[in-house]
Structure 1
Amino acid sequence: MAQSVLAPGAKFTSYWWEGHDAAAPAVTGGSPPDKADVVVVGSGFTGLSAALTLARGGRQVVVLDSEQPGFGCSTRNGGQVGPRFGPSFAELSETYGEEKATWLKREGHAAYDYLVRLIQDEHIDCSFETSGHLLCAHAPGRFAPAAKAAEEEQKRFGIEAQVIPKSEQRREVGSDAFHGAILFPGGGALDPMLYHRGLLDRAVGAGAALFTGQRVQGIERDGQSFAVRLAGRTISARDVVLATNGYTSDATPWWRRRIIPIGSYIIATEEIDPAVMARICPKGRMLHETRKVVYYYRPSPDQKRILFGGRVALSETDGSVSAPRLHAAMVRVWPELKDVKVTHSWMGFVAFTFDHLPHVGTHDGIHHAMGYCGNGVPRATFYGHKAALKILGKVEGASEMDPLAFQTRPLYHGRPWFLAPSLAYYKLRDHFA
C-alpha cells in the first residue's frame, strides 16, 4: 500500500530540509570551554531564543546539542503559528478560576505577539505571513461548541473570529468533508527551517557559542554553580537552561518524568496542478480539525504542495507506515488528490504535559522551558526568552506559569505506556462525535 502513494525517490526526512544544508557542521569548531556563564542544553527554538536574549544581556553563553542545530521538532513541524491554541477559556476556568484563566490565555496571545515582533524586528526571512487559520468541524456536534468558544475568545480577548456555516465553507476550503468552520484571520504560517536558521544566525551573531555532537549525560550542583557532564569531561556553569522539550532524556530524570513525548507525523505531496490548488485551498489558509486526535494541514509556502500532518498510530511508527495513512486522511478531505503522490514522510516528537500547559521555571536551580503541547513555534520562542530574562534578573521574566506545579504521575518515568489506550479512547470520541 505504501508503494502506491510514495513517489519515486520519496524521502523520509523533513520537507523543510529541502534546499537547506540540514547537516551543517557545528557552528563553533573544537570543544566547548571548561567554563561558561550559562550552558543552554538544546539548540531548537527554545534554546536559541534563550541564548539570544542571554548573549545580548552580556552573558557568556554555550549552547550544547547532541545532534545538528534544530534536529528535533523545530525543523520538523508544520509551520502553523497562531494566538489561540491549547485549553479553551472554559476548560481553564474550570480548573483555575476565571481570573487566572484570563491571564493564562493572555500570556498565550502574548507568545504569538512576541514571535511576530521578533521576526519583524530581526528581519528574519522565513516566509512568515498572516494566512488565517481555519478550524474545521469534523462532525456535526463539534460545530456549535467551536463557535461558542470562538465567540468567548472574541468577547474577552479581542481575537477576531468568523463563524462559517457548512453552506459557505467552500469559499475557505474546497471540501465537503466538514460541518462548518471557524476562521481566525489573525493566525499565521512560516517556514520553520528558515525561522530556525534566522534565530541561529542572530544568537551566534550576538556571541553565543554552539557546539553540536555534545550529548549531556547529567547535570549536578557544584557549590554555587553547576557541573554539566559530557563524555569524559564537564563544563562549569553559573546557570543552566534545559531546552530539550520532546527530546528530554534520562540524563535529566526529573524533567523526563514531566514531559510526554508524542510523535507527530507529516507528509508532503508532489507538486499539484495550480488549478487544483486554487480549488482546494482558495485562500491559502492553515487548516486543522476539531478532533481530539488532531489533523493539521496547509499549502506549502510556494502554494504548490499540501503538507498534511497528524497522529495516525496508537504507538510510534515510521514514515513508510504513516505515509499511506496520512494520505488516506488527506483524500478523505480532498478526494481529488487520490492520485497525488507523497514525496516526503517524516515525524518529530512534540512535548505534552499532564496539565496541557507549557512550563517555564526552575528545579534545583536549573532553569527550564518546555511542554508546548503542539504549539511550539511561538511558545518555544517566548518561553526561551522568559527563561533567559529570569537568569538576567529582569522582572519581565515573570510568567503566569510560575506558580503552577509541573505535574507528573505515579509510575511515569518518561515512556508513555498510557498513550495507546488514551489515543484509542479519544479516537472513539472523535468517531462518535
Structure 2
Amino acid sequence: MASGERIFATEFKAAPYWWEAAAPTDEGSAPLPAETEVAVIGSGYGGLSSALELARHGVDVTVLEAGLFGQGASTRNGGHVSGGVNLGKGAGNTQGGVTADDIFAESVDSLAHIAGIIERENIDCHWRETGRFVGAATRRHYDTFRAKADLYNRHGLQAALIPRERQREVIGSDRFFGGIAIDRAAQLHPALYHRGLLDTARRHGARLCANTNVEAIERRGDSFLVNTSAGPLRARHVVATTNGYTGKATPWLQRRVVPINSYIIVTEELPEDVAHALSPQGRTLSDSKRLLNYFRLTPDRRRLLFGGRGSFSGAPAEEVAQMLYGMMLDVFPHLDGVRITHGWTGNIAFTFDGMPHFGTHEGVHYAMGCNGSGVATMTWLGHQTALKIVGGNRPSAFDGQPFPTRPLYTGRPWFLPYVGRWYQLLDKIDRMRT
C-alpha cells in the first residue's frame, strides 16, 4: 500500500475538487438593505431554494451569507442524490398522525422536485439519474435489504437485490456480500448546482449578501431586527437554513443539530477501462456500515471520489486523506499506488432522531438536519418553507415534528470521538462475525 506523502499527487490541493469548476465567490454580492420582507440565513441549497421560491412569488427576500457564496457543505458534498433512502429510525416516532410512510413518500417527492428545478431553470450541473448501489458489509446486512427493497418499491424507487455473484455488474469489487440497487437515485456536480441556484435566485429578484454574518436576532413586535456584521436589518420573516454551520445567533437550533466532519478524496485520472470497471453502470455507491463510506466516479468518469467519516475530532484533511486512502483500498485494492489530487472536509448536520426538520420556533422559520442526505432534502425543505410563508404549501409530513435535543448539549459535539470509536468497534465485530 502506498503511504504517507507517496499517496499525494504533486498538484495535490486540500480543497474540493468541485471548486475547479465553481469556486466560492462574493461576486454579485449586494449591499445590505435597511429592511426586507424575508431574511434568509445561509446561502446553501436550503437558503437559495427558499429565496428562489419567494422571489418567484414576488416577495422581497434577502439572503445573508457569513462568508463567500458556496463556501459550505453545498459545494463540499459528494453529489449523491437520493429520495429518502437514508431516512433515520426516527421516521417511526413521528407525531400528529404522520406515519413513516408519509415521511418516506415526501422524501421521494424531493427527488422529482430537484430534477424539476434543474430542468425548469436550465441548470447545467451534470445531473444524471443513474441509480445507486449499497454494498452489504456483512451477510446479515444483505438479509436486511429484503425488507428495504419492499419499502423502496412500495414508493416507486425501483429497487432490486443484487447477489454477491452478480455484484461485479454494478461495482468493481469483491468486498461486499451482494447489495441493493436503487434505480431512482441520481448524481450531480454539487458546486455547479449551487452556482446554478445562486444565479437563478438572483435572476428572479432575490438579493444576495456575502460576508454578512448574522450575530443576533431580536423579536420586535410582529417583525425582527437581524443584527449582522454589515449592520442591522429589519425583516418581517426570518428563515434559518444553516444546517451544519448553525451558530450562536440561533441557540435553540444550535442545540438540536450535531455538526460532523465528512471527508472526501479524489484520485488522479485513471485509465478509462479501470475507471469504467469501478462503476460499470455509473451509479453512486456506498456501503452498509454504521460509519459508511460513499463513492462514485466524477462527471467525466475518469476519477474516483471516495468519502466517509475519517475523523470525529476535526483532523486536517491531509491527515484524514491517508485514512480514507486505506478505506478505498479495502474496497478497491487494485488502486494501490494511485495518487490523490484533492482532499477536503465539510460539516454535515445530524439530528438526535435521525430526521430532517422544518418548522417555526418563536417566529423564526428553520429547515435543517439532513443527516448526510441534504442535496435533495434541503432543496425541498427550503422550497416548502418559502411556500409556507406565502401561504401556498401543501401539508408536509416534516413540518413541526418534535425537534429533540439532549440535556446539557449546547452545540459543541464533545462526545463524537467516543461515539465514533464505539461505532468502529461495532463495525469491526460485525465483520469478524461474517
Q: Is residue 145–residue 161 contact of structure 2 (8 Å, CA) maintained in 1?
A: no
Correspondence list, 1:221-232, <5 A: 221-231=219-229
d(CA) in 2 for partners of 1:126, 1:141: 37
TM-score by length of 2: 0.95
Deviations 1:48-98 (A, max 9, x none): 00000111111111111111112100000000001132336x873477699
1:9 is aligned to 2:6: no
Query: Partner of 2:103 in structure 1?
Result: 104
Structure 1 residues 200-209 or 418-427, which shifts more?
418-427
d(CA) in 2 for partners of 1:11, 1:378: 28
Q: Is residue 90–residue 355 contact of structure 2 (8 Å, CA) maintained in 1?
A: no
The residue type paired with residue 274 of structure 2 is: V
The residue type paired with residue 8 of structure 1 is: T
Misfit runs of 4+, over 3 Å: 90-99
Correspondence list, 1:51-66, <5 A: 51-66=51-66
Superposition CA RMSD, Å: 1.6
Q: Is residue 351–residue 370 contact of structure 1 (8 Å, CA) maintained in 2?
A: yes
Query: Shift of residue 212 of structure 1?
Result: 0.6
Deviations 1:132-189 (A, max 9, x none): 10010112221110232112321x3232111111111111111111110111111110
d(CA) in 1 for partners of 2:49, 2:400: 23
Aligned CA distance change for structure 1 residues 416 and 238 (closer, same or farther; 3 Å) = same
Q: Is residue 47–residue 382 contact of structure 2 (8 Å, CA) maintained in 1?
A: yes
d(CA) in 1 for partners of 2:254, 2:267: 35
Query: Partner of 2:131 in structure 1?
Result: 132
Query: Shift of residue 278 of structure 1?
Result: 2.0
Q: Is residue 113–residue 380 contact of structure 2 (8 Å, CA) maintained in 1?
A: yes
Aligned CA distance change for structure 1 residues 233 and 321 (closer, same or farther; 3 Å) = same
Q: Is residue 26–residue 211 contact of structure 1 (8 Å, CA) maintained in 2?
A: no
Gaps of 5+ in 2: none
d(CA) in 2 for partners of 1:321, 1:167: 36
The residue type paired with residue 424 of structure 1 is: R
1:142 is aligned to 2:144: no
SS of the residue 1:62 aligns to: strand
Query: Partner of 2:391 in structure 1?
Result: 393
d(CA) in 2 for partners of 1:259, 1:8: 38
Query: Partner of 1:425 in structure 2?
Result: 422
Query: Partner of 2:291 in structure 1?
Result: 293
SS of the residue 2:412 aligns to: coil
The residue type paired with residue 381 of structure 1 is: T
Correspondence list, 1:222-371, <5 A: 222-231=220-229, 233-371=231-369
The residue type paired with residue 217 of structure 2 is: I
SS of the residue 1:130 aligns to: coil
Query: Shift of residue 316 of structure 1?
Result: 1.5
d(CA) in 1 for partners of 2:257, 2:96: 25
Aligned CA distance change for structure 1 residues 132 and 23 (closer, same or farther; 3 Å) = closer
Q: Is residue 60–residue 206 contact of structure 2 (8 Å, CA) maintained in 1?
A: yes
Residues paired across the two proteins, number: 428
Deviations 1:204-232 (A, max 9, x none): 00111111111110111012210000137
Query: Partner of 1:121 in structure 2?
Result: 120
Query: Partner of 1:35 in structure 2?
Result: 35
d(CA) in 2 for partners of 1:253, 1:196: 27
The residue type paired with residue 304 of structure 2 is: I
Please, which of 194, 197, 206 is the counterpart of residue 196 of structure 1?
A: 194
Query: Shift of residue 16 of structure 1?
Result: 0.2
Query: How many percent identity over aligned positions?
Result: 41
Query: Shift of residue 362 of structure 1?
Result: 0.6
Q: Is residue 49–residue 197 contact of structure 2 (8 Å, CA) maintained in 1?
A: yes
The residue type paired with residue 426 of structure 2 is: R
Query: Partner of 2:406 in structure 1?
Result: 409
Query: Partner of 1:92 in structure 2?
Result: 91
d(CA) in 2 for partners of 1:61, 1:256: 24
d(CA) in 1 for partners of 2:35, 2:86: 39
d(CA) in 2 for partners of 1:208, 1:251: 23
Query: Shift of residue 315 of structure 1?
Result: 1.6
d(CA) in 2 for partners of 1:107, 1:69: 29
Structure 1 residues 224-233 or 10-19, which shifts more?
224-233
Aligned CA distance change for structure 1 residues 97 and 183 (closer, same or farther; 3 Å) = farther
Q: Is residue 261–residue 311 contact of structure 2 (8 Å, CA) maintained in 1?
A: no
